[in-house]
Amino acid sequence: MRALFAFLSGGLFGLGLLVSGMVDTTKVQGWLDLFGDWDPTLAFVLGGAVLPMMLVWRLAEGRRPALGGFFPPKPPARIDRGLVLGSVLFGAGWGLAGLCPGPAMASVTFGGWGGLVFLAAMVAGMLIAVPLRSRLDAMPRPALSSPR
Amino acid sequence: MPIDWILGLAGGLMIGAAAALYLLVNGRIMGASGILGGLVDGSGRDSWSERAAFVAGLVLVPGLVALAGFGRETNLTGNLWVVIAAGLLVGIGTRIANGCTSGHGVCGISRFSVRGIAATVFYLLAGGATVWLFRHVLGVI
């Protein structure tokens, strides 16, 4: 049952990424290109996804997921090094090629060799991140993060 | 172009509906990098079938739509070195930051998560700076 709804959600997500244009790297790079021919399409994509989800989070309050368990608790408002460093690296890669993880998977069947190479490199990066993350966690905390 | 904006909004609503379904039914955050990352590095072993099913839907449904003739050109650069570097950066970055455009962006912003909003600000700034540098200064992309 969990797998069925996960499949449906993944399929709908993929369809949305295809329809919205998130799989088109020129549209993504056009959105990031503030100093060139800026393309505002992604603002509509983000708005379309975020606004209904705001209502959904409110709906979830005080309830439990349909298939049992609990909703994920809100993480503490802590901006740590991993979040900043990781987001900057991710943003650089996103800008370079115009693909983020969702669209990379959604377009892999029709994105040609380049799409396959991107996905393989992304998976390799995810494996490289495992030792990097534990090293980051082991380092003493700088002033950026509040002590907990 | 307005038609692109309408398609963007329609697709965005589908993405939001997918995130709503995964949250309300399965009780999980719909984050593409987290779902795939937990599958490939083994950290999501206890929920692998759910993750694998999500990835299968994400890959197969757009694949079938493309097969039916409604695909879209990805227009990915032909420069393989750029593709490899970008893939590595996206993989490493999203796992260190614990999220990408879907988890931090869609799911995080919508619950007013400080981490989600901060991550989105940083990856948008880095993405904008990268496109500026590599397109307008170096002329690579």
CA A104 to chain centre: 11
Alpha-carbon span B44 to B46, nearest angstrom: 6
H-state helical runs in B25-132? 32-40, 48-65, 80-97, 109-110, 114-131
Q: How confident is the model at residue B80 (pLDDT cuts 50, 70, 90)?
A: very high
- pLDDT at B96 > cutoff 60: yes
Q: What is the mean pLDDT of chain B?
A: 97
Residue A142 has pLDDT above 90, yes or no: no
Encoded tokens for A144 = 């950026």
Closest CA–CA distance from residue A41 to any residue of chain B (Å): 5
Minimal Cβ distance to A11: which of B16, B57, B136? B57
Tell which wins on pLDDT, A36 or B83. Answer: B83
Domain count for chain A: 1
Picking from B7, B26, B49, B104 by the largest number of A CB atoms within 10 A of its own CB, the best residue to mutate is: B26
Examine residue A148 and state whether it is found in any structural domain, yes or no: no
Find out whether A16 and B13 touch, Cβ atoms under 8 Å: yes
Position A148 pLDDT exceeds 50: no
pLDDT band at B121 (very low <50, low <70, confident <90, very high): very high
Task: Note whether residue A146 is domain-resident.
Answer: no
Do the domain assignments include residue A40? yes
- Which percentage of chain A shows pLDDT scores above 70? 95
Q: Domains in chain B: how many in total?
A: 1
Residue A46: its chain B contacts at CB < 8 A? 12, 105-106, 109
Q: Which of A33, A89, A128 is the best residue to mutate to test the B interface, defined by the most B CB atoms within 10 Å of its own CB?
A: A89
Residue B108 scores a pLDDT above 50: yes
Residue B108 lies in a domain: yes
Helix (H, G, I), strand (E, B) or coil at A51: helix
Q: Is B116 among the domain residues?
A: yes
CA angle B92, B94, B100 (to 5 degrees): 160
Residue B29 lies in a domain: no
Best A59, A87, A110 member to test B by mutation, with max B CBs in 10 Å, is: A87
Is residue B80 a part of any domain in this protein? yes
B1 is a domain residue = no
In a domain, A64, yes or no: yes
- For residue A132, the SS3 value is helix
Q: Write the pLDDT tens digit of every residue in A57-107.
A: 999 999 999 999 999 999 999 999 999 999 999 999 999 999 999 999 999
- Which 3-state string (H, E, C) describes A60-127? HCCCCCCCCCCCCCCCCCCCCHHHHHHHHHHHHHHHHHCCCHHHHHHCCCCCHHHHHHHHHHHHHHHH
Question: Does the pLDDT at position B53 exceed 80?
Answer: yes
Do B86 and A117 make contact, defined as CB atoms within 8 angstroms?
A: no
Q: Which residues contact A148 (CB under 8 A, 6 or more apart)?
A: A76, A78
Q: Please report, rounded to a whole number, the percentage of residues in chain B having pLDDT higher than 70.
A: 99
B126 lies in which domain range? 76-141
- pLDDT of A136 > 60? The answer is yes
* Contact between A94 and B94 (Cβ < 8 Å): no
% of chain B surpassing 90 pLDDT:
97
Window B:25-84, CB contacts with A under 8 Å: 25-30, 32-33, 36-37, 40-41, 49-63, 65-67, 70-78, 80, 82-84
A147 falls within a domain:
no
Residue A6 sits at φ, ψ, to 5 deg, of -65, -40
Instruction: With both helix axes pointing from N to C terminus, report the angle between B114-131 and B80-97 in degrees, rounded to the nearest 10.
Output: 160
Q: What is the domain range of residue A59?
A: 2-138
- What value does the mean pLDDT take over residues B52-56? 98
Question: Is residue A100 situated within a structural domain?
Answer: yes
